[in-house]
Amino acid sequence: MAQRIVLSDDLDGSEATQTLHYTVDGQEYEIDLSEENVQRFHEALEPFVSKSRPVERRLIPTPTRRSGQRRSGGSGRDDIAQIRAWAESQGMDVSARGRVKKEIIAAYDEAHN
C-alpha cells in the first residue's frame, strides 16, 4: 500500500510544494508553501537580501568513530603509546593494553614540560 503525504500551504491552505527554512535573529523557522507563495516569500525578502552580506559559517568538526572501533573511556590523548614506552624505560609498571594510570600520565607530562 502506497501512502501519499500532502503538505498544506501554511498561509492559504492550498497544496504546498515545498518547505522553506529560514532564520531571523538567530531563530530558525520553517513554513510549507505553494509555488505561488514561495515566489511571494522570495519577492518580499528580495530588497533585504540584495542589500545583505553573506555570512560564511565555519563548521566545527565533530569526532567520528570508525566502523568497528570501540569507544574508549580513556584520556583521549594520542600519545599513549609514547607514554607507555617512556614509563617502561623508567621502570614503571605499565600494562601493554588498557588504561594508563593517571599518575603515570602526570609523571610523563611533568618530565616532558
pLDDT value of residue 74: 57
Q: Tens digit of pLDDT for each residue in 26-85? A: 899 999 999 999 999 999 999 999 999 988 878 777 776 665 555 555 567 888 888 988
Q: What was the pLDDT predicted at 66?
A: 61
CA atoms within 13 A of residue 97's CA, in its CB half-sphere? 0
Distance CA 81, CA 83 (A): 5
Distance between CA atoms of 103 and 90, rounded to whole angstroms? 13
- Go through the domains of the chain in sequence order and give each one's CATH number: 1-53 (3.30.60.230), 80-111 (no CATH)
Between CA 94 and CA 103 the distance in angstroms is 11
Q: Could you tell me which residue, 21 or 60, shows the higher pLDDT?
A: 21
Q: What is the pTM of this model?
A: 0.48
Would you state the pLDDT for residue 69? 54
